[in-house]
Amino acid sequence: MKAIFYNLLAWAILPFMDTIAKYLSSDISFFQITWARYFFTVFFTLPIMFFFFKKNLTWTSQPKLQLFRGLTLFSANVLFFYSISVISMAKALTLAFVAPLITTALSPIILGEKVGIRRWSAVIVGFIGSLIVIRPGFIEFNSASIAALGTGFFYGIYLVITRQLHTSDSPLLTLLLTGVVGAVIGSFLVPIVWVDPTFNQWSLLALMGIFACLGHLFLILSLKYADASKLAPFGYFEIVTNVILGYYFFGDFPHYWTWIGLAIIVCSGIYISLRERASVLVK
């Protein structure tokens, strides 16, 4: 129960970060917002890890893989913050939920895992669900929708790399290095779009970092008590907080086609998760 509680708590917290990002995007570039998300996450995470989890911060045995993991998550965040600056958070998140499908599709190539016809069928069905959400040819198919799908693509790669690092590096070290990679890369590029935030905007940007820090720490705590495969389906709980916040602050409520597409994508993702769990038990 602890694992489920911490996992659900994490997915309930993280949409608050997205809400702030969407709110600020009318005045600040989505890229500067992404930089702030990483900068303040490291700012708040580093002291916590140094004082409470110092023993877990042994240096990585796969620095290149950690760097690539950080790049993929940074790319996913940039695309997602851009997408929610244009379209609703619920629609963007629904399209980003193709990530587990991408992971399944890439697993045979990168990890050498065997994926059977049932899981391939679930991937295809999930992709159909994403097409229902965007409905190309019926509504405007804009760059924000493409960016949301791109978020899912990069996050899917990120999940594959995370699997590779799971047996070699501490999750806490991986979290910290991912944040550092994003903060460093963002710091080199953010001067191009920089605007001076007001005091209130700085406060909200810092609050984003706090939400990101808390959310990911609760995710790590949940993994302490249960395997990732068992907790994967609970990740879809994020849509609940996402819809509530989107409706409350921006008046966005998902179209019924979005709900239909979401249901298809979620069912496909849960099915894949259950099949992967079953295959692990068989082994």
CB 11 within 8 A of CB 266: no
- The two three-digit tokens of residue 116, written as one number: 């059977």
C-alpha–C-alpha distance, residues 240 and 261, integer Å: 15
Q: Which of 264, 244, 262 is nearest to 92 (CA)?
A: 262
Cα separation, 213 vs 46, in Å, equals: 10
Cβ neighbour number for residue 135 with a 10 Å cutoff: 15
Full-prediction pTM beyond 0.75?
A: yes
Out of 35-39, 60-64, 110-114, 211-215, pick the least confident. Answer: 110-114
Residue among 170, 175, 200, 196 nearest 38 (CA):
175
**Crossing angle (nearest 10°) for helices 89-96 and 256-282:** 30
DSSP 60: P
What's 119's DSSP letter? H
227-266 pLDDT, tens digit each: 666 767 777 888 889 989 999 999 988 888 788 888 888 8
CA 231 to chain centre: 15
Residues in the chain: 283
Please give the structure tokens belonging to residue 246.
């989107």
Which pair of tokens denotes residue 90? 């619920």
Q: Which residues pair with 251 in a beta bridge?
A: none
* Model pLDDT for residues 18-68, shown as the tens digit of each residue: 999 999 999 999 999 999 999 998 888 888 777 766 776 677 778 888 888
Closest CA to 80 of 95, 62, 65, 64: 95
